[in-house]
Structure 1
Amino acid sequence: MSRESNQANDIDVDLRQLFASLARHWRRIALVTALVTIAAFLFAWSATPHYRAETRILIETRESPFTRANPAADADRPLLDQEGITSQVQVIASSDILKKVAADLNLASRREFNPSADMSLVKRLFVGAGLLRDPAEVPAEERVLSAFREKLKVYNVERSRVIVIEFSSVDPQLAAAVPNALAQAYFAVQQSAKLQSNTDATEWLQPEIANLSQRVKEAEAEVADYRAQSDLLIGQNNSVLATQQLSELSSELSRVRANRSAAEANAQSLRNGIQSGASLDSMPEVLSSPLIQRLREREVELKAQIADLSVSLLGNHPRLRALNSQLNDLEGQIRAEARKVLTGLETEARTAAAREASLISDLEQLKQVSARADDEQVELRALEREAAAQRQLLESYLTRYREAVSRGEGNYLPADARVFSTAVPPVEPYFPKVLPITIAAFVTSLLLMILITLAQELFSGRAMRPAGSHFYAVDDLAMPAQGGAVPALAPLGDLSIGHAVAALAAGNTKRALFLSPEGDESVAASVLVAREVADSGKRVLLLDLTTTGAASKPMLDGQERKGITNLLAAEAQFTDVIHADFYSEAHIIPAGTADPERAMRAAERLPIIMRSLASAYDLVVVECGPAEAASLERLEGDTTTVMLAVIDPEDPSVVEAANALEEAGYKDVVKVSPIGYRPTDVAGHRSAA
């Protein structure tokens, strides 16, 4: 029967026990660490030294502005982008360049480029077994190229136009010679590509220039023929003569109109002055007449004489009368002359009007001629543009052709890259570094051995303990004094072996604790139950906690095996103490062969072991022998059933054990008797009851 258990389910890592394992196994840790360190030192000390050198190439335009016909166009030419730089890396590592360098440096004669020369025994065995290809069957060029690629590293420095060529070899001179040779071979490939491009360009330009020259001649001839047919004569300022004449005629018409208007205005003003009898002195046309000016001068003289004579002579003096008569004649002459000026102005106005009419007629004719000339000029300009474009293209082709021919003849085709860091023979090898390798091997092996030792201690369960537990001795076991209870299954009552097997096989019980107060004779009940439940398809383990091993020995044909005492004493792990029953599908953990006193000192680990077994098996059957009821507490857990194995129910030891269980809190103890039970025969096993 079952009762609630006060056992806690949490566990802690016992750090003292965990790290004490390092002290217990320090010899093994030190030995393995020393062996690994010595092996690493011997390997590094005896390994063939390898040297590494590198050449750095800068991708840039090497063209000089003084060697280009159009330096501005070259200045605008973009450098390679990141994809272009990556492509150049692939060019340097291409098979053609590698083969050329390998041939120039005669790498095939060196042992490090011949895999068949230094094959290890293991590799020879694999080759002999047909698991690896014999290097001797590979062509020499392919072997050299494969070894070359393994030792070569070409890469682009991030966010730069720098390409690094790195090579390693057992010969420091060769380690420096190969990157430099690769750089020179790369420059040669670039120059060869430019030379080929230059040759292709000249071969293409020759017929194009000849064809284009003919097209230019034809286009210019069309321009001349059209100009002659359309009579588009060119005047000043490179304009059509008709358009120029139209402009000049328009200017002349404007001038004639202005003169006519001025003449008409002057004539009208003079006419109005003559008709009104007003003074003509204020009229600029009269004043501008030379005759009128002379008459006015004569008038002034006569007036001066009259004024002088009037002082000494009377007004009717013949001299004064003669002078006044002359003065009056002068005024008439002036007016007569003014009318002549008026007649001249009117004539000038009529002449200007006639000239204006003539100019207007001529202007209308020139407008028509100019309109036709403009249309013809549009067509002429289209022909001239075509001829100019052909001529410009021809000149561009001629310039490029002359430049290409000049560069080809002068062999001036610089590569767009330069070496700014030349490889030099290294002084120290990059491999092996004896001291760093030895130190790394020592530290790594030491840490690994420590981790392995700690992991073994954790996985074995020896470094685990219940959380917050305190222990005290009861009989021959140490039990945890913890509060709380774990609910048990409903009581099964008094059952036979068959009924007990059926109930355990069909129920959810994880732990079945058997007490056998009558000694080794009654332990057969737990053995029979474990076997029958296991043969029903459940995963069952029987844990033998008897001091004599009465439960496990029949299951192992009397053989002594490592068991629970070995596990508690940290002398074995779970895989060492779990054995298969010879007569069923059940597993068994026997009493073991370790010192019981030493095992009991680690009895606090027993609850942890029980939880581990309960998680791995469907049912854990524990044979406790004639143990005290109080000692069952540490074995309990969820869904635990306590059973009392009896042969004679009236035996005083059975009665005493039943009473003790009831006093300890185990109500309705299930009594199971093996008397009269016949085990079931299972295929592959023989019954052993």
Structure 2
Amino acid sequence: MNSRAPDVNDVDVDLGRLLASVRRDWRRILLVSLVVAAAVFVLLLLVTPLYRAETRVLIETRESVYTRPQAAGTNSDSAILDEEGVASQVEVITSSEVLTRVARELNLASREEFKATDSLLERTLITVGLKSPSSIPPEERVLRAFREKLNVYRVEDSRVIVIQFSSEDPELAAQVVNAVADAYVANQREAKLQSNVDATEWLEPEIADLSERVREAEARVAEFRAQSDLLIGRNNTVLATQQLAELSSELSRVRVSRSAAEAKAESVRAAIESGVPPETLPDVLASGLIQRLRERQVELQAEIAELSTTLLDNHPRIRALRSQLSDLDTQIRAESEKVLAGLETEAGTARRREEELAAEVERLKAESARAEEQQVELRALERQAAAQRELLESYLTRYREAAARRDRNYLPVDARIFSRAIVPSESYFPKVGPLTLAAFAATLLLMLIFTLLKELFSGRALRPAEGALEAESTDMPVLAPAVAEEETETVEREAAPAATPPPTASTAEPKQGTGAEASRPYRSRSLGEIDIEMAAEALISKGIARAIFVSPEGDEAAATAVLVAREVADAGLRVLLIDLTASGAASRPMLESTAYAGITNLLAVRAQFADVIHADLYSSCHIIPVGTADPEHAMRGFDRLPIILNSLTIAYDVVVVECGAADAAAVKCLMGDDAQVLVSVLDPQENRVTATAAALADGGLGKPLLVTPAGYVPPSAPPGRDAA
């Protein structure tokens, strides 16, 4: 395809034509919408109204701090009140047990709306033997219908369960939801009662067996304590261990005493051996005799000192006192040695006591170790007995609580009906007004969509893309002076009447004009032929969809079809020119080259529509050239040509077919609805023109329009191309 020619798919939607189709069919659209709305209104009036009632149940623990069992903790409450627990209660409400109880209580099987019968189709299939009769029990049928009308759900982010039921009877709707809520509460109470009864029945034999096991465990503890001779002292301690502790304390005290006695004896001995006066030692001074001797020694020294003031040293009196003083020193020393001997004796005694206590401690250690081993086994027996005892006490507590709840019939359910249903006064279905308006709006919308799609698929609402045309026009070479003159003449010329009949021989006289139009040469119209502009106006005013041109004078006359196609395209219509000439004379002035795929390729099934439709270089007209396929091979598919023309007639406003010098039989194959045959005339005196016009009329194709390019000069061809 030419790079300058836009693709056939480069089209825009003409919104004006779309809206025009809606304006054209608005009565039909409105009528259909009103009919459908009226039908829906009547059907809704005939539908049996449905009423919906609603009951709300709150899932909460009903136990108080005063009635809650001692064995129950907080985990049991949180388990029933969490999200999964509440969702489980929804399933319990819709269980077959609860629904069956309600159905029997209200005798729902006797009501018509719960008698789930087979449909008309099912009964027909059963009658002809294509389906076996249903074997569903009546109770299951009632439950199926019950579940279809029942709706139970949990309110989001809460512990509230909503029970809804719809029915034809408003009183029945309220009765059913209240009955379902009551049945659910009763079911929960019975479940708790049964659980309580099962617990007491299980606890009775367990308590009896556990009591026997506790008695046996305590007997084993007492027997082991007697056999092991484990005597218990203060603070629940084994006697051997207590004695060991006491002896250990005594041994420590004796060791301290022995160390002190040895230290005192050693200090006294060292003082005596070193010549230190023993009476200066604290332990020696502590002796009563030493103290009296020291007092006597002090008295003698005082008396000697007193007599020395009056007597000489050799005086017998002084000498006698000094002799006594020397005896006192001897006695003090002797007494000091006795004190030393006493300290040594005391240290020896403490040492022997220490040895005895150490031996006794060692003996008690061995005895205490043996007692500890026995104590470990005894404690194991006591723990077992204590565990059995605690378990027995807990069982007894639970049994007493369960028995008290059963006797007092106090089994609170973890649910409360806080909003009971009342008889609804208005039906929720059908809503006649909203549904009728919705049906009217939906039908109106669908009709609008159908009308727009119909107009769109017919191709009447499509037009060539302006961008493609503008791009083409920017690459278009400068028109020849004749083409410019033609456009100027078209602008200056007054518009013709909307429906101009084909001119007759008397009316088709040469125009008298002034200026450029008067100076232009023209041919006489002796056969009643019309010019290019009149031919285009005739095609537009009559609504001709297919214009078939015959050129008996050869390829030069094919330019007439090109000029008419361009004239119609300039009027704003979508125009397609099909070149069926053998030489391609009609497509040469419209394209840059003849090497484009065309009608022969389409007939030979070697191309598609998008490949063979090209854009005219000088107008918004589209062109299908002769093509590049083998003509003999293409003629084998000639029977497809009418189908192709019909398809193109749907997509375009006007399809112009240039047949060249074709006969009436060939032209007849191209005819269709709203088709017009036109004959291109260059020389009115040409015998071939009159003969062709007569042959077409005799062939049943009607009187053709004779078109001459009088007053037009063919446009200059681009460099390297022949003019049409």
**What TM-score do you get using the length of structure 1 for normalisation?**
0.68
Structure 1 418/488 Cα, relative in aligned 2: closer, same or farther at 3 Å? farther
Which residue in the other structure is 2:219 paired with?
Answer: 221
Which residue of the other structure, out of 636, 642, 656, is the alignment partner of 1:542? 642
Pairwise CA distance, 1:180? 2.4
Q: 1:52: which partner in 2?
A: 52
User: Deviation at 1:434?
Assistant: 3.2
1:202 to 197, 200, 203: 200
What RMSD, in angstroms, separates the aligned Cα atoms of the two structures?
4.9
Cα deviation code 1:530-574 (max 9, x no counterpart): xx99997998251598xxxxxxxxxxxxxxxx999899899xxxx
1:300: how far off?
4.2
Aligned to 2:510: none
Partner of 1:25: 25
Q: Hey, what's the Cα distance between the residues in 2 that align with 1:490 and 1:69?
A: 99
SS of corresponding position for 1:65: coil
- 2:357 is equivalent to residue 359 of structure 1: yes
- 1:335 Cα deviation (Å)? 2.6
Partner residue, 2:97: 96
Whether 1:485 aligns to 2:591 is yes
Give the match for residue 462 of structure 2.
464
Counterpart in the other structure of 2:411: 413
Partner letter of residue 480 of structure 1? A
* TM-fit CA distance, 1:92: 0.5
Shift of 1:355: 1.4
Equivalent residue, structure 2, for 1:441: 439
CA distance in 1 between counterparts of 2:413 and 2:348 reads 87
> Which runs of no fewer than 5 residues in structure 2 stay unpaired?
471-489, 491-531, 540-546, 548-564, 576-588, 614-631, 655-668, 683-691, 697-703, 709-713
Aligned equivalent of 2:560 = none
Q: Is the 8 A contact 2:597 2:612 kept in 1?
A: no
* Structure 1 residues 51 and 108, CA gap change in structure 2 (3 angstroms): same
Q: Matches of 1:226 and 1:277 in 2, distance apart?
A: 69
CA offsets 1:626-652 (integer angstroms, 9 cap, x no match): 65599xxxxxxxxxxxxx9xx99xxxx
Q: Distance in 2 between matches of 1:288 and 1:3?
A: 145
Amino acid at match of 1:186: Y
Separation of aligned partners in 2, 1:4 and 1:303: 158
Q: In 1, distance between residues paired with 2:374 and 2:24?
A: 115
Shift of 1:266: 0.7
CA–CA distance in 2 between the matches of 1:149 and 1:486? Answer: 77
Tell me: higher relative CO, structure 1 or 2? Use CA pairs within 8 A at least 6 residues apart: 1
Can you list the C-alpha shifts for 1:40-90, whole angstroms capped at 9, x where unaligned?
A: 334445544333232222333332232234367345764245444333212
| Counterparts in 2 of 1:142 and 1:354: CA distance versus 1, 3 Å | closer
Which of 356, 371, 374 is the aligned partner of 1:373?
371
Relative distance call for 1:125 and 1:312 in structure 2 (3 A) is same
| Shift of residue 162, structure 1, vs aligned partner | 2.8
SS in 1 for 2:278: coil
Q: How does 1:235-634 map to 2 (within 5 A)?
A: 235-304=233-302, 324-468=322-466, 475=536, 476=539, 478=565, 479-480=568-569, 485=591, 540-542=640-642, 591-592=672-673, 628=680
Matched to 1:199, the amino acid is V
| SS at 1:234 equivalent | coil
User: Which whole-Å CA distance do the structure 2 matches of 1:318 and 1:664 have between them?
Assistant: 191
Q: How many residues align?
A: 556
Aligned-residue offset at 1:312: 6.8
Residues in 2 aligned to 1:277 and 1:544: alpha-carbon distance in whole angstroms? 157
Deviations 1:115-162 (A, max 9, x none): 56xx99999988877899999x97553443233212210112334433
Partner of 1:162: 160
State whether residues 5 and 486 of structure 1, in contact with CA within 8 Å, keep that contact through their aligned partners in structure 2: no
In the alignment, the residues of structure 2 paired with residue 444 and residue 25 of structure 1 have an alpha-carbon distance, to the nearest angstrom, of 17
Is residue 6–residue 486 contact of structure 1 (8 Å, CA) maintained in 2? no
- Matched-pair contact (CA < 8 Å) for 2:603–2:640: no
- Give, in whole Å, the separation in 2 of the partners of 1:270 and 1:512: 145
Relative distance call for 1:27 and 1:504 in structure 2 (3 A) is: closer
* Residue identity matched to 1:203: E
Check 1:485–1:239 CA distance in 2 against 1; reply closer, same or farther (3 A cut). Answer: farther
Q: Does the CA contact (< 8 Å) of 2:33 and 2:440 recur in 1?
A: yes
* 1:146 equivalenced with 2:252 (yes/no): no
Shift of 1:14: 1.5
- Opposite residue 276 of structure 2, the aligned amino acid is A
TM-score normalised by structure 2 residue count = 0.65
Q: Structure 2 vs 1, CA of residues 334 and 55 (structure 1 numbering), >3 Å: closer, same or farther? A: farther
The answer as to 2:253 corresponding to 1:233 is: no
The farther-off stretch of 432-441 and 470-479 is 470-479
